[in-house]
Structure formats: C-alpha cells, structure tokens
Amino acid sequence: MTTPLGEEIARMIALEGPIGVERFMGLCLGDPRRGYYTTRDPFGAAGDFVTAPEISQMFGEILGLWCADLWMRMGSPSPVLFVELGPGRGTLAADALRAMRIVPGLHDALRVHLVETSPTLRDAQRLKLAETGVSVSWHSDVGDLPDGPALILANEFFDALPIRQYVRAPQGWCERLVGLDETGALAWGLSREPEPRLADASGPEGAVLEIGAVAGRIMSELAARISEQGGALLAIDYGHVRSGLGDTLQAVKKHAFVDPLAEPGEADITVHVDFEALARTAARAGAEVHGPVTQGALLHMLGLDARAATLSRARPDKAADVAAAARRLAGTGQGEMGDLFKALAVTPTGFGPPSGFAVLPPLSPERDA
Ligand code: SAH
C-alpha cells in the first residue's frame, strides 16, 4: 500500500469487508486525520489543480456582482446571508465581497457563512477573509446554516461530494465496491446482490451508473430553504447537462490523472456533476431552476470583457495576463474552461431568471456530446 490512509482503509476492509465507492471517496477526501482536503491546500500551479477563482480575481468579482444584483431584485433584505460552499482558499469569497462593496447598504446587511469541512482550508479562509474586515462563521454542513434569505455560491463543490456507483451485471445493477486482492492491496469489486431500487434502469452489461446521494441531499435542503426563505444558489462545476451512464470518477495529482485506488488521501478525487439530476432535485424541492448555461456564456453575459478592459487600463503591464486569464475562464478551446464548466442557478418560484440566465436558452442535451 502506498499511503498511510490506504493502509488504514485496507485494514478496515480486512476487518469489516468491502466498502462502497461513496464511503471510499468520502474517506479519501475527508478522513478527519488523513483526508486529502483535511491535510492540505491543493490549489495553484504548485499544487494538484487550479480552480477558476485562483486564475483571476475577475471570476469572484463577477459572481459578487451577480449576488449584488439579486439582492437588489429581492428588495434588499437586511440581514442577508452570503454563503459559500467549499470555499477552498477563500479567494472567491474575498473577491466577491470586495466587489459587493459598490452597492450601498449591502455590506452592512451581509452575514458571511462558509460551509467547509477541512480545518486546514478553514484556516486559509480565515486568513484570506481577515483582509475584508467582515466577520465570518463556519459550518460543517448546510443543515447548520441559520435561517434567512441567502445568496449561495458553490464553485467546484458538488464535484467533490462522494457518489455511489453501480455496474450492470447479468443479475442487475450491482454496487461497485473497494475490496482487497490476494496481495492485500485495494482492488475494485462488485456486490453480489443487485440493488432492487435500480431494477427499472436499463443499460448494457458493464455500464456504470452513478448516484450522487450526498449532492442530492444538499441540493434538496438548499432549494427548499431558498423557496421558503428567499435567496438564490449559483453552482458552477465540471459536468454533464444530461444524466447518462459512465464512470466519471477521477483522481488527479500534480495536474495529472492517477489511479483512484493508488494514493488514497494524496490525490484529489472528483466526479462529473450530473446537472440534470441536480436540477430535478431542486425543482422537486419547490424551487425554480435556471440553466445550465456554460461558464463561458455566463461570464460574457455578466461583463467579463468590460471587467478585463478596466483591469488592463489600470495595469497596462498586466494586460496580456488579464487577457490570457479571461480566455482560460471563458474560452472554448483546449484547456479552457468556458464550455466544459456549467452554471446552474436556483431561485424561488416566480422570481424569474437571474442575470446571465435570461437571454440564453438552456443548453440542450445534444450539446453535451
Ligand atoms: N471553491 C473552491 C474550492 C473547490 S475544492 C475553489 O473554487 O477554488 C472543494 C472544496 O470543498 C474544498 O474547500 C473542500 O475542503 C470542500 N469540501 C469538500 N467536501 C465537502 C463537504 N462535504 N462539506 C463541506 N465542504 C467540503
């Protein structure tokens, strides 16, 4: 076994038997002592991957103004919660909060609540947000957030939530498990009994079906509170517009793919977000769903080009960097995020589309090839 957490998981499996992918992914990312996010700050060029807010301040600023616009359309309630789910280094929140200062009264109304399980990243967020002068509260779960209207941002949060996987076998959909091979190393396996609740799902033998039950529970709770107490959620992630079959579990270390079983706790593990499932869950909880639209379309609609031009005028020496960052965030070419990442918004029923979601028709499933 290659990592201390991998050895721990192998010992646990030897005692208790194979575990599901959901449990495995949850341990790899969130084990209280040795989980990937528990123990490190993985972001940036020197880390394992780079996220949109780390590419440019423009990303967080634009999302902050999106929140400010919604707040005014909501009738400027005070207090209002500003919530971020999985805030990483706190960069997005800091940039968003700074941008929101231009709206009179908003800063005084804001109560900042961050949902974060990693103590290491909570420390990074505390440090980063100290510069904004706002007071911040942390929560481990969305269920612990106080009541009230809430502006909720989630960037690359849902892709970090553990999923269950089922593989089509002759007898039905059997859960994909992590067990041990004859040498005692972690190895993939399958439950013998099929899952009765999936008896009606169709798919060819060997097909993989993913169920994001944790994401579903969180979306359901947030959509219900938004529909009852007001506010909005904006979720941006790598994922697909239509639910489909396929194994999307991937592990990344130092900007390269690695075997998910090889280095538990040392590699990031993510899945593609199933936006259709999230949208269905939010609608079922009584909220209105907007999009998904692509990240590129959203950022352009929300004024990315104007913001880039302003920044370049202020710092002509940085103009080339700003242009490159804008392309990386919103471009549609190789290695650019504009088309790969999608944005979904949730509001109370009858609120109408938030800015950036109004003009464009939602992505049709055909686009998602
Ligand atoms: N939004 C940030 C970070 C994305 S990485 C950015 O765009 O840079 C995922 C983040 O979600 C990390 O902060 C991680 O610690 C947090 N996280 C993962 N699982 C979580 C859970 N179940 N509850 C709360 N936070 C979680």
Domain that holds residue 154: 52-161+215-243+266-348
Nearest one of 245, 267, 117 to 186, comparing CA atoms: 267
Mean pLDDT of 37-65: 90
Could you tell me the pLDDT band of residue 211, with boundaries at 50, 70 and 90? very high
pLDDT in tens, 299-311: 999 999 999 999 9
Cα–Cα distance measured from residue 159 to residue 164, given in angstroms and rounded to the nearest whole number? 13
157 lines ligand 1 (CB under 6 A): yes
CB-based burial label for 360 (10 Å; 0-12, 13-18, 19+): middle
- Helix/strand/coil for 123: helix
Give the integer Cα–Cα distance in Å for 121 and 117: 8
Whether 365 has a pLDDT exceeding 70, the answer reads no
Which residue has its alpha carbon closest to ligand 1 atom 24?
116
CA trace torsion 26, 239, 354, 76 (10° rounding): 20
Tokens coding 90: 């706190």
pLDDT tens digits, one per residue of 155-179: 999 999 999 999 999 999 999 999 9
Percent of the chain with pLDDT over 70: 96
Domain contains 23: no
In a domain, 2, yes or no: no
91 part of a folded domain: yes
Ligand 1 pocket mutation pick from 157, 233, 238, 337 by most atoms within 8 angstroms of CB? 157
The best mutation among 37, 39, 56 to test binding of ligand 1, ranked by most ligand atoms within 8 Å of the C-beta, falls on 37
- As given in the structure block, the two tokens for residue 347 are 């509001």
pLDDT at 332 over 50: yes
Residue 368 lies in a domain: no
- DSSP conformational letter for 338: T
Instruction: Give me ligand 1 centre to Cα 220, in Å.
Output: 18
Q: Is 90 in the pocket of ligand 1 (CB under 6 A)?
A: no
Mean pLDDT, residues 99-110 taken together: 95
Does the pLDDT value for residue 236 go beyond 50?
Answer: yes
What one-character DSSP code corresponds to residue 73? H
Write the DSSP string, 261-330: TTSTTTSEEE--EEHHHHHHHHHHTTEEEEEEEEHHHHHHHTTHHHHHHHHHHH-GGGHHHHHHHHHHHH
**Antiparallel, parallel or unpaired: β 172-180 and 186-194:** antiparallel
Please list the residues that pair with 152 across neighbouring strands. Answer: 83, 233
What integer pLDDT is reported at residue 292 of this predicted model?
96
* CB-ligand 1 contact for 270 (6 Å cutoff): no
C-alpha span between 85 and 152 (Å, rounded): 7
Q: What is the pLDDT, as a whole number, of residue 369? A: 42
What's the CA-to-centroid distance between 154 and ligand 1, angstroms? 9
Mutate to test the pocket of ligand 1, among 118, 128, 145, 252 (most ligand atoms within 8 A of CB): 118
Dist CA 196 CA 173 (whole Å): 8
Task: Calculate mean pLDDT across residues 259-278.
Answer: 96
Determine, yes or no, domain membership for 206: no
Q: Which phi and psi (to 5°) does residue 297 adopt?
A: -60, -45
d(CA 264, CA 21): 12
pTM of the model: 0.95
Query: Looking at the predicted structure, is the pLDDT value of residue 121 above 90?
Result: yes
Q: Is the CB of 63 under 6 A from ligand 1?
A: no
Q: Is the CB of 248 under 6 A from ligand 1?
A: no
The three-class DSSP label of residue 199 is coil
Any domain includes 364: no
What is the pLDDT at residue 366?
Answer: 60
With respect to residue 313, please indicate whether it lies within any of the assigned structural domains: yes
Decide: 160 in ligand 1 pocket, CB within 6 A: yes
Task: State residue 158's pLDDT score.
Answer: 98
Name the pairing type of β-strands 110-115 and 164-169: unpaired
- Evaluate the omega torsion of the peptide bond into residue 292 and state whether it is cis, within 30 degrees of 0: yes
> In total, how many domains does the chain have?
1
**3-class SS of residue 346:** strand
Q: What is the pLDDT of residue 47?
A: 79
CB 51 near ligand 1, within 6 Å = yes
The answer to whether residue 36 is domain-embedded is no
User: If you average pLDDT over every residue of the chain, what do you get?
Assistant: 94
Does the structure show a pLDDT above 50 at 259?
Answer: yes
Q: Residue 163, SS3?
A: coil
CATH of the domain at 284: 3.40.50.150
Which ligand 1 atom lies nearest to the CA of residue 91? 8
Atom of ligand 1 nearest to the CA of 115: 24
CA of 157 from ligand 1 middle (Å) equals 5
In order of 219, 221, 357, the CA distances from 284 in angstroms are 10, 11, 20
pLDDT at 367 over 60: no
